[in-house]
Amino acid sequence: MCSKIYLPLLAGALIVSAQSGQKLVPKIDLPAGGPLSMLSADWGESSATPRGGAYDVDVRASLSFKNLSQQRIRAVTLAVLAQEATPGGKGSVSVPSLDVAPGETFPININMHLLRPIGGAEASVQVRLDGVLFDDLTFFGPDKLNSRRTMTVWELEARRDRQYFKKVLETAGNKGLQDAMIESLTRQSDPPPGGVQVIRGRVTNVDPERELAYAFLHFPDAPVQASGGIVSIAENKMHAPRVAVTNRSNRPINYVEIGWIVKDQDGREYLGLSMPADVSLAPGRTGQIDENASMAFTKRISIRGMTGFLSSVGFADGSYWIPDRATLADQQLHHVLAPSPEEQRLAQLYQKRGLNRLIEELKKF
C-alpha cells in the first residue's frame, strides 16, 4: 500500500498555466515503510500549457530525499505521470552511481515534457517510487518499469569500471590513471554519431524492405551464444530482428539483451539501441528471439550492414552477466559505446576536482 504525501505549498508547488488558469498540482507517492522520505521539493518553472485537446506539461523539479534504511543506496528510479493511459503521458527518471549512507540526503532533478488531456478539475503530475537498489543488490519497490534489472546492470558496470581504474592506478600509477581519465573525457566530448528511436510494432515504410543477415561479436566468456541473425531493413529503419540464442552456462537464463552496430552507405558505424528479451533457456537449450519492434535512425542513412553483440544476460536466480573491460576494448565496440554512467561520473570528478580527489573516491570502494 502507498501512503500519499501531498507536498505543502513550497515555492513552485502550485503551478498555474498563464493561458488558462488551470492548476498543475504536483503529488509525491512514497510507499509506507519504504527506504525514502521526502525532505523538500522545488517545482521551479514547471508549467501546463493548453495546446488543442491536451496540456503540454513541462516538469522542472528539484526533489530532496533522505535514506531511512540501514543500507547504502546505489540507484533510484522514479515514475513521473501526467496521465498514465495517454501516449506521452508518462516518463521516468533514474539516478545511478549513488552512494547514499543511512541517514544521508540526496537530490533528484526532473526535467521532462509530458502530455495530459484537458478535462477534470486539475492537471496533476504524480511522482512515484519505482525502485531503490541497495549496495548488496537487494531491491525495494513495485518495479513496474523493470528498473531493478536496469539498475542492477548499472551497478555491476560501476563495480567493473571502478575495479578497472583502480587496477590502472596500481599498475601504471598516477600518470596512467590521468591518461585513462583524459581518454574517457575525450570519448564523452565526441559522442558516437547517430540518434535512434525504438518503436514497438511495425513502422509503415515507403521504402522497399529487404532481409539482412548479420553476425555477432564473439565474447569468449559470455553465457549465451547468439547466431543466425536476420532483420528486415528499409533505408534507415530496421524491423523485427530475429536471432537464435543458446545457453552455454549451467544455469537457467530468463533474459537476454542484444545490441547492434549499424553500418551506413559510407561505412560509418552507429550504435543501435539494445533491445531486451525475456527468454526461458535451460542449460544447453536453444531458443528463438523474435522482436516485434522497429528501430529508426533520426537522421537519413541507408543501412548496409549490422553486427550484433550481447549487452547483458539475466539468470533465473536474479544474477547478471555483463561484458568485461577487455571485451569492451574491442575497437569496433569502443568506437560506438558510450562510457558507463559510473565512468562518466568518475571522469567528471577528475575534471572538476582533480586527480587526488579521484584517487580518494576510488579508495572508498
Q: What is the pLDDT of residue 123?
A: 62
Q: What is the pLDDT of residue 253?
A: 98
CB 325 within 8 A of CB 221: no
How far is it, in rounded angstroms, from Cα 114 to Cα 23? 15
Q: Same structural domain for residues 262 and 307?
A: yes
Burial class (CB in 10 A: 0-12, 13-18, 19+), 233: buried
Q: What is the pLDDT of residue 198?
A: 52
Sign of the CA dihedral running 37, 39, 44, 49: positive
Q: Which residues, other chains included, contact 318 with Cβ-Cβ below 8 Å and sequence gap of 6+?
A: none
How far is it, in rounded angstroms, from Cα 83 to Cα 86? 6
CB 59 within 8 A of CB 49: no
187-207: per-residue pLDDT in tens? 888 765 555 555 544 445 545
How far is it, in rounded angstroms, from Cα 92 to Cα 81? 8
Residue type for 190, please? D
Q: Same structural domain for residues 117 and 55?
A: yes
Q: Same structural domain for residues 88 and 187?
A: no
Which of 294, 86, 292, 277 lies closest to 199, judged by CA? 294
Q: Same structural domain for residues 24 and 132?
A: yes
C-alpha cell at 345: 561520473
Q: What is the pLDDT of residue 352?
A: 97
How far is it, in rounded angstroms, from Cα 111 to Cα 91? 10
Q: Same structural domain for residues 132 and 168?
A: no
How far is it, in rounded angstroms, from Cα 151 to Cα 137? 9
Q: What is the pLDDT of residue 13?
A: 44
Q: Which domain holds residue 263?
A: 196-337
Phi, psi of 216, deg, nearest 5: -125, 145
Q: What is the pLDDT of residue 265?
A: 84
Residue type for 304, please? R
Q: What is the pLDDT of residue 14?
A: 45
Q: What pTM, to 2 d.p., does this model score?
A: 0.86
Q: What is the pLDDT of residue 304?
A: 84
Q: What is the pLDDT of residue 6?
A: 32
Q: Which helix (H) or strand (E) holds 287?
A: strand 286-290
Q: Same structural domain for residues 45 and 123?
A: yes
Domains identified in the chain, total number: 3
Query: Which runs of consecutive H residues, i.e. helices, occur in 202-286?
Result: none
33-89: per-residue pLDDT in tens? 999 999 999 988 888 888 777 788 889 999 999 999 999 999 999 999 988 777 788
Q: What is the pLDDT of residue 207?
A: 57
Q: Same structural domain for residues 125 and 222?
A: no
Low-confidence ranges of the chain (pLDDT < 50): 1-21, 200-203, 206
Q: Would you put residue 12 in left (φ > 0), alpha (ψ -120 to 50) or beta?
A: left
Q: Same structural domain for residues 14 and 137?
A: yes
Query: What is the SS3 assignment for 209?
Result: coil
Q: Same structural domain for residues 119 and 180?
A: no
C-alpha cell at 51: 495546446
